[in-house]
């Protein structure tokens, strides 16, 4: 090894922060529970995912995807699609109807 290059065995790996951990676990479990109830009542994964998104909209994307998988029984590949569509619609509605002070 040359002195200019570090030894690969000595290089410490920096682990990425866990973004799938909810900041408010009680809210997360409540959102998953409500999503499961809506799914059982209406039979619609989309309706369950919309409610979960509304409750967890301030959480990281990975947290919301995890909640979709658990509460709305979305597949791991389907959850990002639900997130994208719901997020897009949510921001479109918010943009069209600004809060008036």
Percentage with pLDDT > 90 across the chain: 66
The two tokens of residue 94 are 């918010």
Q: Examine residue 12 and state whether it is found in any structural domain, yes or no.
A: no
pLDDT category of residue 100 using cuts at 50, 70 and 90: low
Domain coverage including residue 52? 25-96
Q: Examine residue 7 and state whether it is found in any structural domain, yes or no.
A: no
pTM for this entry? 0.77
42-90 per-position pLDDT tens digit? 999 999 999 999 999 999 999 999 999 999 999 999 999 999 999 999 9
Q: Examine residue 87 and state whether it is found in any structural domain, yes or no.
A: yes
Closest CA to 53 of 80, 16, 75, 25: 80
Q: Examine residue 16 and state whether it is found in any structural domain, yes or no.
A: no
Residue 96 has a pLDDT of 84
Q: Examine residue 76 and state whether it is found in any structural domain, yes or no.
A: yes
Cα separation values, 100 from 18, 66, 91, 92, Å:
37, 34, 16, 16
């Amino acid at each position: 090894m040359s002195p200019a290059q570090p030894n690969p065995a000595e290089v410490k790996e920096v682990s990425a922060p866990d973004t799938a951990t909810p900041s408010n676990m009680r809210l997360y479990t409540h959102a998953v529970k409500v999503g499961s109830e809506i799914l059982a009542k209406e039979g619609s994964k989309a309706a369950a995912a919309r409610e979960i998104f509304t409750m967890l909209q301030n959480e990281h994307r990975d947290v919301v995807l995890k909640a979709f998988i658990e509460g709305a029984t979305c597949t791991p590949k389907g959850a990002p699609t639900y997130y994208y569509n719901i997020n897009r619609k949510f921001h479109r509605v918010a943009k069209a109807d600004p809060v008036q002070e």
